[in-house]
Amino acid sequence: MSHEALHESYVVQAHNFASAGEVSASIKRLLRHIGIDFGVIRRVSIAAYEVELNLVIHSRGGRIDLEIIPPIEIGGETGWLHLTSTDVGPGIRDVDLAMQEGWSTATDDVRDLGFGAGMGLPNMRRNADSFEITSEYGVGTTIKMGFKIQ
């Protein structure tokens, strides 16, 4: 299926657990509406939820950008769906450590809610076709994920 080029941007508030998950739910609804493959929607939804919750739990606020680049625009049979998360800090001290399953800096209060399993970043990397994280402690974190679409 061919798709139109698309770019949406979503703001995620820090520490707002009441609305946590709404951005990823919106992204899932949008992808369903435009007819993206179900398996891709599932992987994007999981990655979007994890990155959204990371912004809620750990950041001082940020945004998630969704971009769809149809195959025709890059001269191939495969297009790409990009999810990019950017925040305004505080950044990650040790990215390699943060990428390890089970490692988390979440507080006990957050863990009591079932978050902070240390699975967020590994879940993102597992579900995306491409994954890139850059972080500067004291400045902020950017996560770029790519998903192949037909």
Q: Which is nearer to other proteins, 5 or 25 (CB)?
A: 25
Q: Which amino acid, residue 142?
A: T
**CA 105 – CA 133 distance, rounded (Å):** 17
Q: Which is nearer to other proteins, 23 or 149 (CB)?
A: 23
49 near other proteins (CB under 8 A): yes
115 near other proteins (CB under 8 A): yes
**The one among 7, 42, 78, 94 contacting other proteins by CB under 8 A:** 42
132, 121 contact by CB (below 8 A): no
Nearest CA among 125, 14, 54 for reference residue 133: 125
**Binding piece for other proteins, criterion CB under 8 A, among 13-21, 64-72, 73-81, 83-91:** 13-21
73, 5 contact by CB (below 8 A): yes
**CB 87 to other proteins: min, Å:** 18
58 near other proteins (CB under 8 A): no
114 near other proteins (CB under 8 A): yes
**CA 146 – CA 84 distance, rounded (Å):** 9
User: What residues contact 13, with CB distance under 8 A and at least 6 apart?
Assistant: 19, 56, 61
Per CB under 8 A, residues contacting other proteins are 17-18, 20-22, 24-25, 28, 42, 45-46, 49-50, 53, 113-115, 117-120, 122-123, 126
